Amino acid sequence: MIDLDEIHGCALLRVAILLATLAMLPIVCFGQSNDSEIERQLVAAAIERTHHQVRYDGTYRIIDYPNGDVPGTLGVCTDLVIRSYRKIGIDLQQLVHEDMRRNFALYPQHWGLQHPDSNIDHRRVPNLQVFFRRHGETLPRDLNPLSYQPGDIVTWMLPGNLPHIGIVISEFAKNSTHRLVAHNIGRGPQIEDMLFDHAITGHYRYDGLH
């Protein structure tokens, strides 16, 4: 004869085991940020850059190498990215220069140079795009706001064929599902709601480990 009490007890035991197993699994929420510690530090560094008074000035200057920089009161869009990464111990000047020395032909030839120039190469958006594609993670350039996570690097083409670059931060735009961007589009380092204002030409994630 079938013992109904025994069957019921076994069923309860299976449920208990299942619940215990589920309790040990990580909680995953749709739209949740997947940023790492490095990306959180990068976001904090980018936000800190917006507290500085910087006049937009892309004049060619001779700078130190490595860890060289133009005067802190000057800069362009790339300098916000460079200075943010440098704050967390990643020197894009040296990394881009070394990669260009080994692979010069893979980088844009827009400026008529015959060899890398550590004074300016890392301060040019097209060069950073190549570097991030080669050594970081290339991500979708779609209009899905959830594709853009804190610490992601985004590049745009502004009117007049002017390349631009910025860093996605954690904070969301007001009454929106997309995040704000730390960048310098000409008015100094700022945090703005501009992620989808211009044509996106690149979307990358780079943690300096590759």
The structure's pTM equals 0.83
Q: Which has the closest alpha carbon to 92: 59, 114, 118?
A: 118
What whole-number distance in Å separates Cα of residue 182 and Cα of residue 161? 21
pLDDT in tens, 83-115: 999 999 999 999 999 999 999 999 999 999 999
pLDDT in tens, 146-204: 999 999 999 999 999 999 999 999 999 999 999 999 999 999 999 999 999 999 999 99
What's the Cα-to-Cα distance from 55 to each of 34, 79, 96, 110, 163, rounded to whole Å?
A: 34, 11, 24, 25, 18
pLDDT of residue 209: 77
pLDDT in tens, 25-54: 333 333 344 558 999 999 999 999 999 999
pLDDT of residue 14: 53
SS3 154: strand
What's the Cα-to-Cα distance from 84 to each of 107, 167, 198, 201, rounded to whole Å?
A: 23, 9, 23, 21
What whole-number distance in Å separates Cα of residue 130 and Cα of residue 142? 19
